[in-house]
Structure 1
Amino acid sequence: MDTRNIQYFMAVYEHLHFTKAADELGISQPTLSQQIRILEAEFGMPLFDRIGKKVVATEAGRLLREYGTKMLQAERDAKNAIKELQSGKQGTVRLAVLPSDLDFQLVPLFVQFKSTYPDIQLQAFSTIFVQDEVLNHKVDLGIGLRGQVDKRLTQIPLGCEPYHLFVNSASELADRKEITLEELKEHALVMYPKGYLGRDLVDDVCRQEGFELTTVMEASSATSLLQLVSAGVGATIQPAGLLRQNPERPEIASIPITGPTPVRYLELMYYADRYISGSQRQLTNWLIDYFNANIGQNPHDG
């Protein structure tokens, strides 16, 4: 069994369709089918059930997918380690971050990384499934909401961040020292659409208190929401740190939310037993330093 056949197997597992998998791999469908049969003969068990035109992974196939993912990652780690030894500063670093405001806030750090490692490609992906992307070896590092402890991962707390109300400086609310969520029921709000983590955090707190906030407009990016606030369309409820990354916006005031407050707890994660290149280690340290400087610590953590 070699990694090429594992790659063939993984493509079929991903598509559950031999022709689509063959097209992705750039080989013929009969060749792909033959390689899968070789694997099945080697294991002495079918990896896929063919039910008419439908392809379904067997229990053996599901097991091979789990271990095959690790095999392919181990091969990539070995190649990356040797490549780094040979070249010093080449390769790719893949980072998954929560969408909209975090990737927006981290752009200056990405610029710093590129300046330090001009020959390394930094790929930043926005996703709400950060932990899954790390566990499936689709990214090297991830920044997401704090989750359950997983022994397969190294999980580094990055502190917590309360949400504030951002309003136009000309708003009647701009001089408030603090405000409750319930007071916002009668005010125009611009927010992420439902289903976005930031929106869901706010909605969950409101729901627990027995009310719901309504919006006059929704947008899927932090930049758009801040522009809407600047234009006086409405106020928005966002992580406090977002405005710190936009000090050139004097037309926006930030008001702490008192009482039940949406708070997000962040962590940096990566696979515990995989190879970490020098550039990945440097990026990890920069990310930890950034969040230590810009994000508050959980008061219950001491």
Structure 2
Amino acid sequence: MDTRNITYFIAVFEHLHFTRAAELLGISQPTLSQQIRLLEAEVGMPLFDRIGKKVVATEAGRLLHQYGMKMLQAEMDAKNAIKELRSENRGTIRLAVLPSDLDFQLVPLFVDFKTRYPETSLQAFSTIFVREEVLAHKVDLGIGLSGSLDKRLVQVPLGSEPYELFVHSASELAKRQAITLEELTQHALVMYPKGYLGRDLVDNVCREQGFELNTVMEVGSASSLLQLVEAGIGATIQPKELLKQHPEWSHIVSIPIADPAPIRHLELTYYADRFISKAQQQLSESLIEFFKSRGVGEDLELRG
């Protein structure tokens, strides 16, 4: 069982379509089908059920996908480790980041990192599925909300950050020293749609107190929310540091939310049993130092 055939198999597994997988692999569909048949003969069980034009993975196929991904990652780790030994090139890092943090907080760090390590290629991806991307080996590092302990991961806490209310400076709320979430049921709010991590975090705190917030508009980006606040459409509830990173929003003020307030806990994650390049180590250290310098990351300890 070689990694080339595993690569072919995974392409079919992920697309469940032989012709489409063959096109992406750059080979003919008959060649791909033959390789899958050889792989099925080797494992002694069918990997896919072919029902008419529909392709469905069997239980054996699902197991092979689980372990096949580890095989491909192990091969990549070996190549990267050897490449690092014989070259001054510091490699490539794939980083998954929550959308608002990528847009508003981390770009200055990326600029500094690239200045210090010019031969390192950094690919930063915006996603709310940070942990899933790390576990699927689609990225090397991830910055997301803290989750339960997972023995497959190394989890480094980056600190906690409260949410605050952002309002237009002309709003009747702008002079408040603090406000409760329940009071906001009487005011116009612009928020992320339900299902977004930040929105769900706020909604869960409200639900525990026995009420629900109403919105006048919902959009999927932090930049759009701040523009709506700037235009006087409504107030929004966002992480405290979001506004501090962009002083150009001069007509927006931040008001603390009285306890119980929504708080997000961030962590840096990466796969525990894979090769960690010097470039990844350097970026990890830079990220930890960045959050620590903001007064958010305290008592950082490894989890996992």
TM-score interval (norm. to shorter): over 0.9
In 2, distance between residues paired with 1:102 and 1:151? 27
RMSD: 1.9
CA apart distance, 1:119: 3.2
Equivalent residue for 2:48? 48
Equivalent residue for 1:238? 238
CA apart distance, 1:275: 0.9
SS state at 2:35 partner? helix
In 1, distance between residues paired with 2:211 and 2:43? 57
Equivalent residue for 1:175? 175
In 2, distance between residues paired with 1:180 and 1:298? 26
Runs of 4+ aligned residues of structure 1 deviating over 4 Å after TM superposition are none
CA apart distance, 1:100: 2.7
- In structure 2, what residue type is equivalent to 1:4? R
SS state at 1:158 partner? strand
**Structure 1's 199 and 295: CA in aligned 2 closer, same or farther, altered over 3 A?**
farther
- In structure 2, what residue type is equivalent to 1:228? L
Which 5+ residue runs of structure 2 have no aligned equivalent?
none
Which 5+ residue runs of structure 1 have no aligned equivalent?
none
**Structure 1's 272 and 284: CA in aligned 2 closer, same or farther, altered over 3 A?**
same
SS state at 1:31 partner? helix
In 1, distance between residues paired with 2:58 and 2:184? 53
Equivalent residue for 2:267? 267
- In structure 1, what residue type is equivalent to 2:165? L
Q: Cα deviations across residues 83-102 of structure 1 (Å, max 9, x unaligned)?
A: 22333234321111122345
- In structure 2, what residue type is equivalent to 1:214? N
How many residue pairs were aligned? 300
Q: Cα deviations across residues 258-299 of structure 1 (Å, max 9, x unaligned)?
A: 032111111110001111111111110111111122253689
- Is it true that 1:37 corresponds to 2:72 in the alignment? no
In 2, distance between residues paired with 1:297 and 1:177? 25
Superposition map of 1:73-92 within 5 A: 73-92=73-92
User: Is the contact made by 1:100 and 1:220 (CA closer than 8 Å) also made in structure 2?
Assistant: no
In 1, distance between residues paired with 2:237 and 2:44? 57
- In structure 2, what residue type is equivalent to 1:243? L
User: Is the contact made by 1:101 and 1:221 (CA closer than 8 Å) also made in structure 2?
Assistant: no
Equivalent residue for 2:144? 144
Equivalent residue for 2:114? 114
In 1, distance between residues paired with 2:247 and 2:100? 18
Residue identity over aligned pairs, in percent, reads 73
User: Is the contact made by 1:128 and 1:197 (CA closer than 8 Å) also made in structure 2?
Assistant: yes
User: Is the contact made by 2:92 and 2:279 (CA closer than 8 Å) also made in structure 1?
Assistant: no
User: Is the contact made by 2:292 and 2:298 (CA closer than 8 Å) also made in structure 1?
Assistant: no
- In structure 1, what residue type is equivalent to 2:156? I
- In structure 1, what residue type is equivalent to 2:145? L
- Is it true that 1:158 corresponds to 2:158 in the alignment? yes
CA apart distance, 1:174: 1.4
In 2, distance between residues paired with 1:197 and 1:15? 28
In 1, distance between residues paired with 2:42 and 2:297? 53
- In structure 2, what residue type is equivalent to 1:254? S
In 1, distance between residues paired with 2:257 and 2:115? 38
CA apart distance, 1:175: 1.5
CA apart distance, 1:23: 1.0
Superposition map of 1:1-302 within 5 A: 1-294=1-294, 296=296
- In structure 2, what residue type is equivalent to 1:168? H
Deviates more, 1:164-173 or 1:116-125: 116-125
- In structure 2, what residue type is equivalent to 1:51? I
In 2, distance between residues paired with 1:115 and 1:224? 30
**Structure 1's 298 and 194: CA in aligned 2 closer, same or farther, altered over 3 A?**
farther
CA apart distance, 1:143: 0.9
